[in-house]
Structure 1
């Protein structure tokens, strides 16, 4: 097996074992006895927030371990095996509180493997004299394909509303863990100086960027937009699945039966929009591209608010297509902004801070607050959700963030900033 093929397989499985349940866990939860009673939305929001909580500390900790003490591919394999074992326990869970801790344990194992998989691929490609900039993107795109494939498998096997989705993910995670032990060795690089302080080891020196008004404002908007990034992952599939309760459509509706496959259009769109980013950045600049992302989120939510499985199906499809721009444009352009405006000595930790503010703090607050708001304002006494109101509220939120960003964030377009942008 060639190096590139093995890394491609690793990338495919890396996101397959996440995509098998990430989009459909809400459908499972809200169709289970765990959602009975009050505050089901808040309980699910707490469960989903474990992705963000684990992102706050685990990538940094595992990065230090891989840098100083343990081969990256072995650590990666161990984490995936543990992740798979935890997922196998999910079918035994019968209450929301226990599910919170089980999913939290799974996320503690899984979330750091995302950055570890990139580090392993970079190291192996460099050690084998490959051009990383040229070779890595085609390998990484198979990760998104793996995520899409997992969503299709979950839907077509009838697993989107039961615990089989976790068993599928768990089985392939253990296989990935075992497979990773066969990868070329990635020993510790001793990248962190032995006399470095704790702040340097954890990348905390980048926090001084909050003392710069422009950077502080950027990180604030990163957090605010991060609150929206996971909302459709949290609620998109269960929103489509809920049309089964509407007598106009019913459980045999195409949208209800194949909700997860329809949602996978979002990930397909993501792979396409990645290819357009260099053009948009060169033509419009970083600030406008980030603004396009925010406006795309308004469309994403607004189209869901008015879509339905009949004459409004085109809105649901278009919303999924718009997702690619909404998700990619802010993440890529935001990363480039950090790359071109921070000192090289703290650039890596600054990138970590950007990810922490979006996928950590922002996603955590978005998960918790959205769950509370849905319970408080958009759920009837019988437990039915007002999806039209929910998506409109999210659209208004995204619009407010976009307007504030346009008015407050000042950044001059410099074409040289995008000359070396990675796809």
Structure 2
């Protein structure tokens, strides 16, 4: 890549994830405090991500892969997204807010695949070049959180500005996208079936008993994951953490550091131990949240946030590598799409519905919750998934050499 193209792709990644991080982390707090919703409604708002993840393959497969250049579709989607975010910020109640945020996630989720597609098409050696570009996305998410904390929007009740900040960034990326390198669709012979568009051609992997166990564990572990995304920020604000959104960005810092160590750990530990450590980290994280507070046990809250790197990288990134190693050459992309559809689509959808109802069930007063009990529930779910996984999963694959394991091969999308 030329320096100009590298700069454009890096800025694209920065804005892509700055937009998401600018409103998504504090969404639960905004809904509970500004729109006076129930936790069940918060869960419903977060499941729009799952709906977007399910719809995204259709948009990419039916439109981007066949008819229009990826950078133009990216521009149009982000311009639409800017308008929807701005409208969401003007909604007076949840019934008015929900249609806007649902429409927005259906528009936004396909852009996650588009930015990767645009990047890969411009790179001569994605295995070496992609990580350096993609890391700017995580930096964008971190900067968004630090900005919210620095401006003190959580404490002064100004979280509506997060949507307007995200809308401005989305409009900027929408216009900027039309200056990105041309990425025309690759002509394919024949028509793709619905199953191919959704990556269902990779369903044959489930014939492998160990992969089936991993697949089911991936769906199940996304249930406690939904608790983290939906209610960590409201929880931290309720227990008195200052600039909670900024502090939460430590999770992304941890994620980057542990991702760099994945090749070393993968070779030394193998698939089963890596996945198990990732799930164990979920259990420990929620125990820290259950027993941490804003006073003497404040360190537990910080430790729970920092564990995000192990939680995500050791399970999801290792799982992506495991999936890639088992999939045939013709179905690697389909396999990644299939596992993403199952986790961020089905798993997160179930978790979003369940988490909201549980948080509502343990509401003690108008503004307070029994967070200890709430966090012990996802801890228990994660522990049960871990126990079944350790009992049934058999690691029959020899770990790859360190130099063979790369972010590009794993088709990694950092879960910020």
**TM-score over 0.5 for the pair:** yes
Q: Would you say the 8 A contact 2:258–2:310 is kept in 1?
A: yes
Which of 313, 317, 331 is 2:316 aligned to?
A: 331
Q: Structure 1 residues 197-206 or 319-328, which shifts more?
A: 197-206
- Aligned CA distance change for structure 1 residues 366 and 201 (closer, same or farther; 3 Å): closer
- Aligned CA distance change for structure 1 residues 8 and 300 (closer, same or farther; 3 Å): same
Whether 1:140 and 2:134 are equivalent positions in the alignment is yes
Whether 1:414 and 2:398 are equivalent positions in the alignment is yes
Work out the CA distance in 1 between the residues paired with 2:98 and 2:252: 26
- C-alpha RMSD of the superposition: 1.7
Question: Paired residue for 1:340?
Answer: 325
Question: Paired residue for 1:166?
Answer: 163
Work out the CA distance in 1 between the residues paired with 2:33 and 2:373: 21
Describe how 1:7-406 pairs up with structure 2 within 5 A.
Answer: 7-35=9-37, 40-126=38-124, 131-160=125-154, 161=157, 162-190=159-187, 192-244=188-240, 255=241, 257-376=242-361, 378-380=362-364, 382=366, 384-406=368-390
Q: 3-state DSSP class of the match of 1:34? A: coil
The offset of 1:392, in angstroms, is: 1.4
- Aligned CA distance change for structure 1 residues 7 and 227 (closer, same or farther; 3 Å): same
Q: Structure 1 residues 363-372 or 225-234, which shifts more?
A: 225-234
The offset of 1:228, in angstroms, is: 2.4
Work out the CA distance in 1 between the residues paired with 2:348 and 2:17: 19
- Aligned CA distance change for structure 1 residues 194 and 235 (closer, same or farther; 3 Å): same
The offset of 1:269, in angstroms, is: 0.7
Q: Deviations over 1:376-420 (max 9, x none)?
A: 2x1125452111111111111111111111001111351337551
TM-score (norm 1): 0.91
The offset of 1:61, in angstroms, is: 2.3
TM-score (norm 2): 0.92
Q: Would you say the 8 A contact 2:79–2:174 is kept in 1?
A: yes
Q: Would you say the 8 A contact 1:340–1:417 is kept in 2?
A: no
Work out the CA distance in 1 between the residues paired with 2:193 and 2:108: 27
The offset of 1:50, in angstroms, is: 0.5
Q: 3-state DSSP class of the match of 1:416? A: coil
The offset of 1:320, in angstroms, is: 1.4
Q: Deviations over 1:262-296 (max 9, x none)?
A: 11111111111101111111000011101100000
Q: 3-state DSSP class of the match of 2:307? A: helix
Work out the CA distance in 2 between the residues paired with 1:412 and 1:234: 36
Q: Would you say the 8 A contact 2:22–2:165 is kept in 1?
A: yes
Q: 3-state DSSP class of the match of 1:183? A: coil
Number of aligned positions between the proteins: 402
